[in-house]
Structure 1
Amino acid sequence: MAGSEENVVIRAGQCALTLMPALGGKISSLRVGNEELLQSPLKPYEPRTRTMAFSDGDASGWDECLPSVAECDVQTEAGLAHVPDHGDLWRVPWQVLNASDDSATLRANCFSLPLQLTRSAILTEVASSWRLQLLYSLTNLGAYNVPWAWSAHPLFAVSAGDRIVLPKDVHSLNVEGSAGNRLGTSDTAQSSPLTVKWPVTSSNHGSEIDLSLAASPDSGIGDKLFAGAVTPLSEGWCSIERPQIGLRVTIRFEPSLTPYLGLWLCYGGWPEGPGPKQICVAPEPTTAPVDSLAKTGHRTKAWSRQLSPGETYTWPMELQIDRIEQEKLNSLHESHK
């Protein structure tokens, strides 16, 4: 099967995943029975342009951000490259290389930099769990060294009281941005990132905040955080526990290959302006602990990766969905303390 016009659906038991090759290879739906696990569209699905803001689109589901999350200008051996908001790939059609009942492989090319991403997905069922295995392969199609940064962008729907669980050795997170500066602001003059404690921290006004608990949709919260930048991650995973629907979603990744985890907490705080808002949590395995490919790290170290001409880089990622009862959740919380 080849092409990029028709949606692709893969299934395993009661779990179904829908991909939209024509709209950036988006995973538009991930369902278990009648439960949709991803953020629903804020606007109708429509073709994207190379310059539109991410907030001008549907801002839903699961996209891939490459070669940057934030819009930026990057100096390369071939001159200055402009990378648009949330990167290139959510804007362009993807080619379906193959698809079956339980698997699909799609491919797309960036336009700001000569990069090609291939993503393979296999969905399986084991007992009362489902596993989505993803394999990414990135190739430099150009004749010069190319900088890049990748971030997964899965927007998972949540309800107030749902819980985010991180590995026990994560005690602090860097703040990339916080709506209304509720967590404070970074010292941009010193290029010093703002760090907050996890899971319980203090707001900019001194009140206590449990970052691990999803807030109400009218709270106006929109925080982008990063794990792994202060203390390297020894374990690569993040869970979202949803007791109201009896499911736990766990993202797993290999920290030696994608060493950071972005965490987007949005409970009505984005997009800015009138209209529907995101109510979601996005655990985002990534190659950099910042959103901009142009941003430097400590002592001007570049966070970006480099691919030489013809070079290919591969990495895995996995999503597991478990049915779980409240008693088991309580036992898990005790084991993570």
Structure 2
Amino acid sequence: MITKTNWKGEQAVLLSTDTASAVILPKRGGKIASFYNKKENFEFLFQNPKFGYSDASIGDSFEDFEACGFDDAFPTLIAETVMIDGNPVHYPDHGEIWSAPFDLTMHEEEAVLNYQSNLLGYTYQKQFQLSDQTLHGSWRIENQSDIAFPYLWAFHCLSVYRKNMQILFPKGTEKIMNGLLSKRLGYPGAIYDFPEDTPLGIGYDFTRVPQPESESYEKYFVWGKVREGRIGYRFPNEQTAIQIQYDPQIFPYLGFWVTAGGFRGDYNCALEPMTSFYDSVANAEKSATLRFLNPGESIHFDIDITFLDTEND
């Protein structure tokens, strides 16, 4: 079932089956505001702590607004100025998409959202279907300008926080790189063994979130390319798990963000598959992983998010 609805004062689209539901906000970047497991009465996505949403304009700072739900980070994650055809172009904080108004078309079982960029001249389309307990998303981004531009796409999907949750990294993960100055992980760039190591002489399990009393926030990355496109979370108390599937050839790099009260008092986390290493065009250029979208070129990809019963995950 697909219907129009109201979500915290916003015009929204509701996708619903007997076992799950998803809510999309077309005018808020096509944000997925909710992905809900009806069987376990469990909301997967971190929720807006306010009743409503503030009006953001393209170029605004992401942290000044409601960091919640599932947004697309494109063409960057960190605000930066890049050179395109010899001219400086400012890429907004967390990209252009999260604050962009999308046009909505509803089909019998599918929501289609479209946006035309004024910044770089690309078209951006995403389509969502809900089948049983799987939210299936398909993306198409096409450069309709006559100039190539550098880009990074990141899966910015904020999960709820549970102190006993488990982070399911891809099989084959061996090393972790710290991304932020941290009282628990030390300086950016430090490399540690996965799944456990002793940064700063203290044991750390990278598959677990910091405890709530730590009032910390951290970001770290799988060191090197991932070997498979299957990640997720296990929630023991809710007797469910989340599986996220994607093409590791398109998203060969993976970050993980967590705030246990340290950032704005929020408690959430996010596995972040991304096209380049890591978080910005500048970093991608340094790591020789930068990608360009050439004139007339398009990229296509699919991402599935599925609720699993823990005995079947």
| Fold in common (TM above 0.5) | yes
Q: CA-to-partner distance for each residue in 1:66-121, whole Å, 9 max, x for gaps?
A: 00000001111161110111111111101113344x42121223343222221111
Is the contact made by 2:171 and 2:228 (CA closer than 8 Å) also made in structure 1? no
3-state SS, counterpart of residue 67 of structure 2 = coil
Return the alpha-carbon distance in structure 1 between the equivalents of residues 185 and 96 of structure 2. Answer: 30
Indicate the residue corresponding to 2:111 in structure 1. 104
Match of 1:25 among 17, 25, 30: 30
In the TM superposition, what is the alpha-carbon distance from 1:268 to its structure 2 partner? 1.3
3-state SS, counterpart of residue 31 of structure 1 = strand
Indicate the residue corresponding to 2:97 in structure 1. 89
Is the contact made by 2:111 and 2:129 (CA closer than 8 Å) also made in structure 1? yes
1:70 corresponds to 2:65: no
1:316 corresponds to 2:296: no
Is the contact made by 2:59 and 2:96 (CA closer than 8 Å) also made in structure 1? no
Return the alpha-carbon distance in structure 2 between the equivalents of residues 181 and 111 of structure 1. Answer: 41
3-state SS, counterpart of residue 27 of structure 2 = helix
Is the contact made by 1:39 and 1:278 (CA closer than 8 Å) also made in structure 2? no
In the TM superposition, what is the alpha-carbon distance from 1:206 to its structure 2 partner? 1.2
3-state SS, counterpart of residue 68 of structure 1 = coil
In the TM superposition, what is the alpha-carbon distance from 1:38 to its structure 2 partner? 0.6
In the TM superposition, what is the alpha-carbon distance from 1:301 to its structure 2 partner? 5.0
Amino acid at match of 1:87: G
Amino acid at match of 1:20: L
Return the alpha-carbon distance in structure 2 between the equivalents of residues 250 and 195 of structure 1. Answer: 26
Match of 2:12 among 7, 15, 22: 7
Return the alpha-carbon distance in structure 2 between the equivalents of residues 173 and 109 of structure 1. Answer: 37
Indicate the residue corresponding to 2:202 in structure 1. 207
Q: CA-to-partner distance for each residue in 1:296-326, whole Å, 9 max, x for gaps?
A: 45xx45432111111111112111111224x
Return the alpha-carbon distance in structure 1 between the equivalents of residues 256 and 24 of structure 2. Answer: 23
Indicate the residue corresponding to 2:164 in structure 1. 161
1:46 corresponds to 2:54: yes
Is the contact made by 2:277 and 2:284 (CA closer than 8 Å) also made in structure 1? no
CA RMSD of aligned residues (A): 2.1
> Could you list the runs of 5+ residues in structure 1 that have no partner in the other structure?
187-192, 272-276, 333-337
In the TM superposition, what is the alpha-carbon distance from 1:153 to its structure 2 partner? 0.7
Match of 2:124 among 105, 112, 117: 117
Is the contact made by 1:63 and 1:153 (CA closer than 8 Å) also made in structure 2? yes
> Could you list the runs of 5+ residues in structure 2 that have no partner in the other structure?
5-9
Indicate the residue corresponding to 1:184 in structure 2. 186
Give the alignment's TM-score, normalised by structure 2: 0.90
Would you say how many aligned residue pairs link Structure 1 and Structure 2?
303
Is the contact made by 1:114 and 1:146 (CA closer than 8 Å) also made in structure 2? no
3-state SS, counterpart of residue 294 of structure 1 = helix
Indicate the residue corresponding to 1:251 in structure 2. 244
User: What percentage of aligned pairs have identical amino acids?
Assistant: 25
Give the alignment's TM-score, normalised by structure 1: 0.84
Q: CA-to-partner distance for each residue in 1:34-76, whole Å, 9 max, x for gaps?
A: 3211101134412102232111111001100000000001111
Indicate the residue corresponding to 1:196 in structure 2. 192
